[in-house]
């Protein structure tokens, strides 16, 4: 599949305590090695790429966090729009333009 996809996701280890920054860092390393465009924010990460490539990254992150934990949850939100690339930034720019 080559759909142009935005995927917002977060992976949460249950029982790991209040600070999960080390798990987030390990996921960001995987994301960076994927070559996909991404934006890290305070509550998760947004990826841009094909649906298959994005799901592969999410799957790898879940497995990475699961290595050190007995239970993991993940929240995933999708936005597919064939033929439209660069939306990871253009959607925000569109709103900022309207605010001026």
| Site of tokens 């990826």 | 47
Contacts of 64 (CB under 8 A, 6+ apart): 23, 26, 27, 30
Digit-coded pLDDT (tens) for 51-95: 999 999 999 999 999 998 999 999 999 999 888 788 888 888 889
Secondary structure percentages of the chain, helix, strand, coil, to 5: 45, 30, 30
The pLDDT assigned to 83 comes to: 81
15: left (phi over 0), alpha (psi -120 to 50) or beta: left
Nearest to 64 by CA among 94, 23, 97, 36: 23
The pLDDT assigned to 34 comes to: 96
The pLDDT assigned to 73 comes to: 95
Asked if residue 1 has pLDDT above 60, the reply is: no
86: left (phi over 0), alpha (psi -120 to 50) or beta: left
Domains belonging to the chain, first-starting first, are 5-99 (3.30.70.930)
Q: Which two tokens stand for residue 59?
A: 């799957």
Asked if residue 47 has pLDDT above 80, the reply is: yes
Residue 90 vs residue 6, higher pLDDT: 6
The pLDDT assigned to 82 comes to: 81
pTM of the shown model = 0.86
The pLDDT assigned to 84 comes to: 78
């Amino acid at each position: 599949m080559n759909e142009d996809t935005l995927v917002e996701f977060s992976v949460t280890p249950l029982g790991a305590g209040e600070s999960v920054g080390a798990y987030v860092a390990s996921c960001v390393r995987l994301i960076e090695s994927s070559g996909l465009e991404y934006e890290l924010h305070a509550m998760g990460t947004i990826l841009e790429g094909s649906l298959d490539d994005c799901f592969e990254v999410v799957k790898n992150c879940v497995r990475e966090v699961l290595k050190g934990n007995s239970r993991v949850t993940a929240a995933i939100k999708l936005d597919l729009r064939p033929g439209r690339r660069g939306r990871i930034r253009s959607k925000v720019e569109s709103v900022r333009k309207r605010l001026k």
